[in-house]
Structures are given as C-alpha cells and as structure tokens.
Structure 1
C-alpha cells in the first residue's frame, strides 16, 4: 500500500480515490491534464517581484517584506512548503521587524497555480500567524480556489515522491 504522507488529514474515501489513481498509474496523467503549464519564475528576484505584486494587491497596509527567496534547504515533509519568519530586533531605541518568506526550491518546477497557492499561504501569515478560520478566509480572499489547490499540490507532491522511488 502506498503511503499518502501529504494527505493525512483528508477523509478515507478521498484517499481511496487517490490510491486508485496510483494503482492504475494515472495520478501523473490526471495532474498533467489539470495543470499542464509550468511557471517562469526561476530566480529569487522574480519571486520577490511576484510576491510583492500579490502583497500590494491584497495586503497593502501590511508590514513590508525584507526577503523572499527559493530555499533549497527546506525539507517539504518535515518543515513545510514554505516558511514565513518574523524577526524582531532592537536597534538603538527602536524595535525593527523583518518579514521573510522562503519557498521550497522544488517549487521552481511546479505549475503556476501551486506557486501562487504557496505564496498566498505565506503572505497570509503576515496578518494571521496561526492556521485559524481568519487565516483560511484571507487565503481564499487572495486565491478563491485555495483549498482545491492545496489538495492538488499534495497530490503533486505524492506523485513526485512516487516518481523518485520508481526511477
């Protein structure tokens, strides 16, 4: 039986459908039909510009971002798909805060919708630190298909793992 590492919290009937796709070798085909394109954002500079554009559209009054990069050190299973860090430092008599977003480097090869979903997720953490109702409402405000994209991204990660172990 295939381990569905990325689908742990989903209902059993849904996981059974995924296992069916895997058993028939159709998961990759399903994803390729649904997400045929790849994005062109390959540098940290392009990722910063992309993220800033989304931030200026949806989170104008939020704290500025000091850094947005692709990070090759993020372990997708252990850590996350991306990381939002908030660092506060005292400089003289002022408190300086920096917001940084790091996206796992493997998403350089992801469909554009998945990159957008991850960036939206990390941007939402600027306003909402916890994964609560307000957080997910903000994600859906920025990306109406957020929940479907999150599920499909988890399918894509499952498929990538299967491809790695087969090849």
Structure 2
C-alpha cells in the first residue's frame, strides 16, 4: 500500500481513490486536467501586489503587510508551504509589529489555483491565528472552493514526491 503522508487526515475512501490513480499511473493526468494553467506571479514584487489585491478585496480592515516574498528555504521540514509572521521591534518609545508573508518558492511553477489557496490561507491568519472553525470559514469566504483546492494541493505534493522531485 502506497503511503500518502500528505493525505493522512482524509477519509480512507479518498485515499484509496488516489492510490488507484497512482497504480494506474493516471495521477499526473488527473492534475493536468484540473490545473493546466500557470500564473504570471514570478517575483517578490508581483507576489506582494497579488497579495495586496486579495487583501484589499476581502480583508480591508486587516493589519498592513510589510513584507512578502517567495522563500526558497521554506519547505515541509518546517511543515509549511506558506508562513506568516509578526515581528515586534522597538522603534523609539513605541513597539512596532511588522507582518510578513512568505510563500514557498515551489508555487512559482504551480497552478494559479494553488498559489491562490496558499495566499488565502496566509491572509486568513491576519484575522485568525489558529486553524479553527472561524479560520476555515474565513478561508471559504475568500475562496469558496478552498477545501477542494487544499485537498488537490496535497494530491499535487504526493504526485511530485512520486516523480522523485522534492515536494517543496
């Protein structure tokens, strides 16, 4: 039985469907049919503009984002495909919090839907720190098919690993 480490939290029936696609060597075809495009967000500057546009559309009152970048060092050893941080610094007599969003460099070459899902996930952390019901409700508000995209992203990571490429 093929271990599916990225899909462990999903029902066994779904895992079996993915195992079947793997056994029939059709997993790549499944992904190519669903996610054939490639986005044009290739630089940190373009990623910043992309994230700001999504933030402006869905989270106007969320804190400002100070830094956005594709991170080559971000990978599954950190258990993250995206990362949000708030760095507090003392400036003069005030405490300033700088918000950062880092997206794994893998998403430069991924389908636009996967980039959007990761960005929505990280933006939701501006309002909800924990992965709770309110967090996922906010993700669904920003991206109605969020849960399907998250599942398919995990399938994509499984496929990359089977191809002998590092998932991230």
Pairwise TM-score range, normalised by the shorter structure: over 0.9
Q: 2-side partners of 1:91 and 1:26: how far apart?
A: 56
Please give the TM-score of this superposition, normalised by the length of structure 1.
Answer: 0.96
- Aligned to 1:88, the other structure's residue is in SS state strand
Question: Which consecutive unaligned segments of at least 5 residues does structure 2 have?
Answer: none
CA deviation after TM superposition for structure 1 residue 77, in Å: 4.9
What CA RMSD, in Å, does the superposition of the two structures yield over aligned residues? 1.0
Q: Provide the aligned length of Structure 1 versus Structure 2.
A: 165
Partner deviation per Cα, 1:7-66 (whole Å, 9 max, x = no partner): 010011110110000000000000000111111111000000000000011111111001
- Aligned to 1:20, the other structure's residue is in SS state helix
Q: 1-side partners of 2:20 and 2:120: how far apart?
A: 31
Q: 1-side partners of 2:160 and 2:104: how far apart?
A: 14
Q: 2-side partners of 1:131 and 1:71: how far apart?
A: 22
Counterpart residue number, 2:17: 17
**Residue 124 (1) aligns with residue 162 (2):** no
Q: What does residue range 107-146 of structure 1 map to in structure 2 within 5 Å?
A: 107-146=107-146
Residue 97 to residue 78, structure 1, CA distance change in 2 (3 Å): closer
Question: Which consecutive unaligned segments of at least 5 residues does structure 1 have?
Answer: none
- Aligned to 1:164, the other structure's residue is in SS state coil
CA deviation after TM superposition for structure 1 residue 75, in Å: 1.4
Residue 99 to residue 140, structure 1, CA distance change in 2 (3 Å): same
